[in-house]
Amino acid sequence: MSGVYWGIVFGLLTMVATLLICVDIVYSKSKRSPQMSDDSADKSGQSATQPLTGSRQAA
């Protein structure tokens, strides 16, 4: 078989592998989100009491 054929096969396999890796990353974050939400809620409560120091503050 020609090199063009193997290039197409390799490209398709690479795209499938990339899709599977992305799906794995998305689902692993959703499984950890209940644990992370407790930590982020604590941090967001702390940040609300601190003044904002961004460059886009209101005058």
Q: How confident is the model at residue 15 (pLDDT cuts 50, 70, 90)?
A: very high
Averaged pLDDT for residues 23-41: 70
Indicate the average pLDDT of the chain.
Answer: 76
Q: How confident is the model at residue 47 (pLDDT cuts 50, 70, 90)?
A: low
| Cα–Cα distance for residue pair 5/9, rounded to 1 Å | 6
Give the 3-state secondary structure of residue 58.
coil
Q: How confident is the model at residue 16 (pLDDT cuts 50, 70, 90)?
A: very high
Residue 46 has pLDDT above 60, yes or no: no
Q: Which long-range contacts (CB under 8 A, 24 or more apart) does 1-10 make?
A: none
- What does the DSSP 8-state code read for residue 50? S
- pTM of structure: 0.48
Q: Which residue has the tokens 């604590």?
A: 42
